[in-house]
Amino acid sequence: MAAAAIIMISVFVGFIGMNNPTIQTRGVGLASAVAFDAFVVRMAIAPAVLALLGHRAWWLPRALNRVLPNVDIEGEALSRHVAASVTVPDAAGPWIPVGRD
């Protein structure tokens, strides 16, 4: 994230070399806004607030929890479902050789 902020700041600082004072001003403003957001807000204030709130930072109201879909990005529910439905074959069962004839 810091690398992206540095790239954006570099691009906006490049606007300072233009001849138009409006573009120069906007370049300075955007560069300072990105620097403040990336380094002060996202690297200092947000982690401090999350540390102070602890578990309460991730609290979700019940009404909102019912409305939002249950998105399983990592596939945890699917892996539990597959593991529960797969049965291990009996070791004393018939042995069928698999190979070349």
Output the average pLDDT for the chain. 86
Q: How many domains does the chain have?
A: 1
Residue owning tokens 């700041």:
9
Task: Determine the Cα–Cα distance for residues 23 and 19; give it in Å rounded to an integer.
Answer: 8
Task: Please give the pLDDT value at position 93.
Answer: 57
* Sign, CA torsion 59/62/64/67: positive
Does 56 fall in a domain? yes
Does 14 fall in a domain? yes
DSSP H or E run through 67: helix 62-67
Does 39 fall in a domain? yes
Q: What is the pLDDT of residues 48-66, one digit of tens each?
A: 999 999 999 988 899 998 9
Task: Please give the pLDDT value at position 54.
Answer: 93
Does 85 fall in a domain? no
Q: Where in the sequence is the domain holding 29, given as residue range(s)?
A: 2-61
